[in-house]
Amino acid sequence: MQRWQSPILLALSLGLAAPLGAQLALPQVPVVSGIGDRLTSALGQVGDVARGTLARTSETLRLARLDRIAALLRQNRTTMERDIDGQPARRGTLLALDLQDGDAARLAALGFAAGGATRLDDLDMAVTELSVPTGMDLAEAQRLLARELPALSVSSDALHFQSGGANSTGASAPAGLRRGPIAVPVGLIDGAPAQPVAGLRGFAVGAPTASNHGSAVASLAAGAGVQRLFVADVYGRDPAGGNALAIVRGMNWLVGQGVRVVSISLVGPRSPVLQRAVDGARAKGVVVVAAVGNDGPAAPPSFPASYAGVLAVTAVDKRNRPLIEAGRALHLDYAAPGADIAALNAAGRRMAVRGTSYATPLVAARAAAALQAGADARSLVPALDNEARLLGKQRPDPRSGRGLLCEWCR
């Protein structure tokens, strides 16, 4: 076994290990077991040196994220490109919200072809796909529309990535522990699970297709007691899966199925389309729970976790230490176990998992349990606070939010 000589070396090794940035990886990418745990342990032992090492680790993770985006775009030139903010998005396509009479003609005069509007009645919104003029990239197209038609709400079809990795352990058994059945219906926006669920629908090319990530997240939700699980597969076999339009279509379907909690273990940049969908779901009384990602505290704020009213979730290890690679949001609500735990992969076998992805369905399960016990949108957070174990000196704590939920879910 390799001997780690210093926390600095650990930090550099961590930053170069792609799986800790697995939110920028497709569903089947494995995790290098134990590296994050060894780093967290080392940082806890070196006192003042740790603070400098933590800063360097954060910067290494930030740079690694940029490298992974660049590699992803190189490998998928026909389906992805950068938008005006440098974020990966679906190539040649923009999304317009709530076009009015005459807007299509004005767009056509600039060379943009407007497809039919996608009505999302359960979210009270409509989205129209715009084809970018031939020879024009997304950033140029966005600048043109901002200049010529500033009143329109137009954005890229930004890509969102799963926020966790896994490594098969070879053992065949259910994952998680139960604390009473939760009958409140819960929705997942992710890849498809292999195990049976109450409802499953695809919103991407080749969907639904069972994935390790979707199977793991679903198994953790079930292990935490969720009995009625509905899953929107926004990845399938689509290289540009996880785009904003797929996510909002999936959310619209979930709301229409009557779910009361939606769990999203995905992260991406700010998207006006997705923000509108989140607002629409919350207006229907749906609780939205989302992961903060795994690109470290120096990464940009993650969305949808950062949208107002979303329960933003981070992860802790078996010693209840926040994961060193956990990302950040504009606010932080709760922590849950996200390392030193096992879940089921697409083959139905146990695998070790690590990442904020896996903490998120556990918080979603506890939110559903609180609703089942009589909480409503106004009383939900106080109800969760009552069972959350405070990890920091204050509530909310900058690293663990309002406390640790579902500690027993290990």
> Is 160 one of the catalytic residues?
no
Choosing from 211, 263, 306, 357, which is the catalytic residue? 357
Choosing from 190, 295, 317, 333, which is the catalytic residue? 190
**One-letter-per-residue 3-state SS of the chain:** CCCCCCHHHHHHHHHCCHHHHHHHCCCCCECCCCHHHHHHHHHHHCCHHHHHHHHHHHHHHHHHHHHHHHHHHHHCCCCEEECCCCCEEEEEEEEEECCCCCHHHHHHHCCCEEEEEEEEHHHCEEEEEEECCCCCCHHHHHHHHHHHCCCCEEEEEEECEECCEEEECCCCCCCCCCCCCECCCEEEEECECCCCCCEEEECCCCCCCECHHHHHHHHHHHHCCECCEEEEECCCCCCCCCEHHHHHHHHHHHHHCCCCEEEECEEECCCHHHHHHHHHHHHCCCEEEEECCCCCCCCCCCECCCCCCCEEEEEECCCCCECCCCCCCCCCCEEEECCCEEEECCCCCEEEEECHHHHHHHHHHHHHHHHHCCCCCCCHHHHHHHHCECCCCCCCECCCECCECCHHHC
Choosing from 213, 233, 238, 302, which is the catalytic residue? 213
> Is 213 one of the catalytic residues?
yes
> Is 357 one of the catalytic residues?
yes
Annotated catalytic residues are: 190, 213, 357
